[in-house]
Each structure stands twice: as structure tokens, then as C-alpha cells.
Structure 1
Amino acid sequence: MYEDQTYEALLERMLDRVPEGMDKREGSIIYDALAPAAAEMAQMYIELEVSNNLYFPDTAGGEYLERSIAWTGITRHPAGKAQLSGKFYTSGGELLDIPLGSRFSLGLLHYSAAEKLSPGMYRLESETAGSEGNQYSGTLLPIDYIPGLARGEITALLVPGTDAESDGALRQRYFDSARRPSTSGNKYHYMEWAQDIQGVGGARVFPLWAGPKTVKVVIVNAEHKPASALLVSQVQQYIDPAPGLGEGQAPVGAVVTVESATGKTINVTAKVTLAAGYALQPVINAFTAILEKYRKEKAFAATYISQSVVGSLLLDTDGVVDYSGLKLNGGTGNVTLTETEVPLFGSVVLEV
């Protein structure tokens, strides 16, 4: 808006207002008096442009983005704590019950026992919010003495920890709310309710899936992978704990079934030509990381995984000059996904 208000343009306009016949050359008294003012005004216009952008959701960021959309009731999702399952054993290898609230360490993180799931198995909660709590393998070291405990280990990730919602995700959620309003128990309302639960990364809704007044909600976790039974249960309890009775968010008469998406494993094989100085294993690791990012983008957003896109991602990998014989699950075509499937990349085998 103010891109034309440069130092040079401002100074020229100011000098044009000086009566003719007076010395306006660079170095003159008038020039030297006006130049600092023009510089300050140019800086003011730059700051004014930045300030204007802070008032609109499409350009605002941080606190200003939150304030610009606060009138809608949409707020930034805070960081969430990871929930994992852990098993505990005696020296004889038998399962051991431990006191709730017992604390354990794994690496630099601490976890506490929040709920007993079965004999010797507990739901553990990370004491640190964020995705760094998703370390779901390894031996747990007790912080306090627990009689009879010989060994503890994390066995599965139940609900992924999540970082605080990014500006991009918050902005997109605001735009989605404006473009497809969720109200009166419509389809988008169910999607919103599902994603109110910490650890849910996406949802699809299937109205009338088993007859009148039935609704199925299929969810993925924050890593866009199949959700655990615990996460499915949490969403079910929030939306419709007593089918049809309106005890949750769903309206009276709606019978809601919450399920996890199913994962479709995709194995990738290809022959590659490496650039000079590159080893094969680091290239495989880099390509796997790129595939993981692509997988998250396509979960619940695509009906197939494109072989040509995977090929372009392979070419974009540092160290790969060319490739041949690219196959997905042993075939040379795309891999289709049903409405309730999400892609999971399995083995990545590259040969030279």
C-alpha cells in the first residue's frame, strides 16, 4: 500500500515545495534539513505497512493473528502431552502393579503413571507438552523407589503429544470455519468436535452410513496415522457417549460411531544414480524423511499416492542424479486409497 513512499520520493516532494530560486542542491542547508525528516517519514511508512498487516487474518501472525480472529471463538490449540502405555515387571518377569502418580524418566523426559489399563500396564503421561514426548520405545527408569519393580518399558504411543498450533494451521482453521460453517450438527460440526480432542489430526464424517440418524466419524492421530483405541474412546465419549441420547456434543437422536482410519502400507523400491561423494544410506534416510512429509500432507486429502510424485520427490533428494525402475508395492502405477485409509510408507529400498 505504501511501497511508493520511499525516501527518495518523499525527499523529492518536500524539495518541490521549496520556492524556486533557493539552493536545493545536495549539501545545501535546505537539503540537509529536509533529508533526515524524509528518512524518518519513509521508516514510518514501512512500519505503517507492517502495522496494517497485523490487523487481517491472512497476513497477521502470532498474538495478532489470535486477536484478529478472537471474535469467532477460535483459539490456538496449545501444546498437548503425549500419552503412552507402559508395562512393569518384577525380577521374576511377572507383571507388577505400581502406584498411580509414579514418575519415570526416559532420556531427558519424565513420565507419570496416570491410569491403570490392566494388570501391570498403565497409561503414562509425559510431563513435557509437545511432540518431543512421543518417545514410545525404551526402558523406563523410576525416579522414586517402587518396591518389587525390576523393569519398566514403554510399549506403545496411545495419544501423540502435539506442539502448539502453528500460525498456518490456525489461519487455515479460521478460513475453513468461514467457508464451511459448522452449525446445528451438520457434517462440519462433527469434524470440529472430533478435532477438539487433543491428539486428533484429522477426521472424516459419513452421514447415514448405517441408516437414518447414524453418523460415522473416522479419525487419525496428530501424526496422521491410525488412532489408538484410547483416542477413539476419548472422541466417542466427547461426541456421543450414550448413543442417540444427546449426552455429548451430538444432538438428540444422532447415533455416532467413532472409528480409526486404517493404514495402507506402501513399500518403495527403485534404482538410483548417486552424485559423486554421496553414500547410499544417507540418501535413503533423506528420501524417507521427504516421503514422511508427503504422507502427512496426503492423509485424508488424496484418493491415491502418485508414483510420479514419489519419483519427483526422489529426484529432489540430495545426492540423487537419476532413477529407474520405481515401484510402489511392486507395481508401476499409483496406489489407491479408500475414504477410510491413510498412507503409511513401509520399506524404502534403493539400489545403485
Structure 2
Amino acid sequence: MYNTEEYEYEAILQRMLDRVPDDIDKRPGSIIYDSLAPAAAEFAQMYINLSAGDDLYNVDTATGEYLTEGAAEWGVNRKQATFAIRKATFLDSNGAGIDVAIGSRFFIEDLNYVVAERVSQGVYKVVSETAGVMGNAPFGSMLPVEYINDLATATLNDILVPGEDEETDDQLRERFFVEINEQPFGGNVADYRQMIRALDGVGAVRITPVWQGGGSVKATIMATGHVPPSAALIDQLQEQVDPVPFGGEGLGLAPIGHTVTLNGVNWVTININTTLTLGDTSVGQVQQDIEDVIDAYLLALRSTWEEDAPLVIRVAPLESRILTVSGVVDISETELNGSTANITLTVDQVPQRGTVTLNE
């Protein structure tokens, strides 16, 4: 607001000098000049501070705690980091499942997990003690913090509800403007989208109104990290939004009279076969780099699913990304799942990389 030339030091000082009669010496080094210069410098600094303060109290330019407070004034609260919920199996030396005490703690790769709920014999839900996406990463053998009788192996398996990092400034600002501009009300599409996006584990959602007649709504979910949700996450969200078998009774977040069905997106595996012209390198040397750029392309597509579904996997942009890999001179005859045509998915599908076959 104040970052204009008229509020810079030289401009302020000149305006002050212009107010002094011309028959008084105003040259640099004069008494008047040397008296006004420090005041002009202070005024310039004041305007800089005012400008910075103005930025901190506008949501479009605020950062950190100022953005948090500014958005909260409109009812949009920053999402805090959440704790991953995982599945773990506990077996004895004969390979049979054993029960462990709720609250038992295990560690793997410097992360601790605490047993939270029994699913079946030897199968439990465990919760990461570290908030954020770190809790989603490790898989495999865990060790108990304290000795447990008859326990031979403890294995950390599926991600049931993914952990999320605290919402970044950019994410909060983007969500703020979406929520303010969409004007959710009384079970409209914007209301459902905001309601479900705010739930733990949800990365994106698409709402299908009047799905099976009046009062029916379908919500298709993508989990945090742009991946399909687990069955456990869908069950948890269903219980929060519209519990079964009490659909439409208003016992969850959904309005009375609305029957809401939640489901998740599904993976579609994309196998890629292409022919390369290489420089001074071999297929083996570029294989991993090419798989990485393919993964990045498919992730970019998945990140647009909420707005752009059904997604289209196109040969041309895939080839252009592969051409950026060092050592690749040219590319031709690219096939996706055995065809040279683009692949169009359904609204409920998202792509993941399958096999990548590189020919010379």
C-alpha cells in the first residue's frame, strides 16, 4: 500500500524542503537540510513498517501466524498435522496371531507406534506418535519398546488413515479463497465439498448430487498424498458423514434427509512400452530416471483429479518428459497398455505406473 516512490526517503525529504522558504539555505550540509534529513529517514522507515504490517493483515499477502489468524476470522482454520493410523500384525514363533495390550509401543526407523485398537486375532490398528506424513513411510518389522511374552514378529503393514503435515501457507490461502467464494449452504455441492475435505485423511473429493434420486449424494474420495483411500478410511468417513444403517437421519455431518454414500477412487495401472534413441548411455542407466519422470507426470495428473476428472493419460506430454532425461536423444512408438492412443479413465479412476519397457 505504501511501497510507492512518494514514500521513499528522497521524496519525503524533498517535500519537507519544499515547504521551507527559498530565501533560506536548503543545500546539503545546511542547518535546515541536516535537521530535516533524519526526520525524513524516520518517516520513510515508518512507511516501510506500515506497508509490512498491511501485508501481514491481508490474507492474500499474510504469512505464518498472521495468515492463520486472518483466515480464522472468516471461519477457515489451518489444518493441523495428523497422526497416521496403520495396520500391524503380531505373530508368535509358530506364525499364529497373538493379542497384545492396547497401549503397547513399537518402533521402526526412529518412529514409534502405539497399539490403539484390536481388529482380529493378531491384527491391530496402531497410531504413529509422530504427526505428519512421516508416519506413512515405514513398512516392515517393528521392535517392541518393552518386552512382550510370546511375541516373535511385529509387522507394520497398510496405511489405514494417512497422516498429514500441517497445512502450508499456500494451501491455506488457496482453500480460504475457495471456501469464501463458493458460499456453501444447506447441503449444496460446495457445502459437501468443504465438509468432507476438512476430514482427516481426505486429499480431494468429487460430489455427485442426486446420485440415485432426490436426497441421494455420492462422494468419491482421494486420500492424502493423491492415492486411493483404504477401506478403513472410507468406513471412518462414512460414519462421520452419514452413518450406516441410519442414512438420512442427520446423525452425521450430512443434513437430515440426505443419504450419502462414500467411495474411493481406484488405481488403473499404466504399462508403458517405448523405443529410444540414446546418446552415450545405456537403457539401464536411464531406466530409473525415466521411471521417475513418468511417476511425476502421473502424480501431476492425480493432483488435478478433483477439478479435471475424468483424467486423460496422453502420449505426447509423456514423451516430452522422457526427452528431458539426460542421455535420451529421441523417442518413438510409445504405447500405453499396448496401444498408441491416449487413455481416458473414468471419474473414479486414477493412474499409477506399471511396467516400463525401453527398447533401442
Match of 1:192 among 194, 204, 208: 194
Deviates further, 133-142 or 288-297: 288-297
Question: What's the counterpart of residue 246 of structure 1?
Answer: 250
Letter in 2 for 1:259: N
Question: What's the counterpart of residue 350 of structure 2?
Answer: 342
The DSSP-based 3-state class of the residue aligned with 1:72 is coil
Match of 2:269 among 261, 265, 269: 265
Q: Deviations over 1:173-219 (max 9, x none)?
A: 22222222222112222222322321111111112222332211111
**Structure 1: runs of 5+ lacking an equivalent:** none
Give the whole-Å Cα distance in 2 for the aligned partners of 1:274 and 1:15: 71
Q: Deviations over 1:286-307 (max 9, x none)?
A: 5256335414422333232333
Residues 103, 115 of structure 2: 8 Å contact kept: yes
Question: What's the counterpart of residue 131 of structure 1?
Answer: 133
Residues 300, 339 of structure 1: 8 Å contact kept: no
Give the whole-Å Cα distance in 2 for the aligned partners of 1:136 and 1:292: 23
Give the TM-score normalised by structure 2: 0.88
1:287 lines up with 2:293 in the alignment:
yes
The DSSP-based 3-state class of the residue aligned with 1:290 is helix
Question: What's the counterpart of residue 62 of structure 1?
Answer: 64
Give the Å deviation of 1:47: 2.0
Residues 88, 125 of structure 2: 8 Å contact kept: yes
Question: What's the counterpart of residue 331 of structure 2?
Answer: 324
1:298 lines up with 2:291 in the alignment:
no
Give the whole-Å Cα distance in 2 for the aligned partners of 1:249 and 1:321: 53
Deviates further, 265-274 or 165-174: 265-274
Question: What's the counterpart of residue 47 of structure 1?
Answer: 49
Give the whole-Å Cα distance in 1 for the aligned partners of 2:26 and 2:318: 64
Question: What's the counterpart of residue 114 of structure 2?
Answer: 112
The DSSP-based 3-state class of the residue aligned with 2:129 is strand
Distance 1:338 1:285, change over 3 A: closer
The DSSP-based 3-state class of the residue aligned with 1:300 is helix
Give the Å deviation of 1:62: 1.8
Q: Deviations over 1:249-283 (max 9, x none)?
A: 22222222111111222234545567889952563
Residues 288, 348 of structure 1: 8 Å contact kept: no
Residues 109, 138 of structure 2: 8 Å contact kept: no
> What is the aligned residue count?
351
Give the Å deviation of 1:151: 0.6
Give the whole-Å Cα distance in 2 for the aligned partners of 1:143 and 1:154: 15
The DSSP-based 3-state class of the residue aligned with 1:85 is strand
Identity of aligned residues (%): 41
Letter in 2 for 1:180: E
Give the Å deviation of 1:113: 0.8
**Structure 2: runs of 5+ lacking an equivalent:** none
Distance 1:292 1:147, change over 3 A: farther
Residues 323, 331 of structure 2: 8 Å contact kept: no
The DSSP-based 3-state class of the residue aligned with 1:218 is strand
Letter in 2 for 1:208: V
Give the whole-Å Cα distance in 2 for the aligned partners of 1:277 and 1:349: 16
Give the whole-Å Cα distance in 2 for the aligned partners of 1:351 and 1:300: 35
Give the Å deviation of 1:61: 1.9
Residues 226, 299 of structure 2: 8 Å contact kept: no
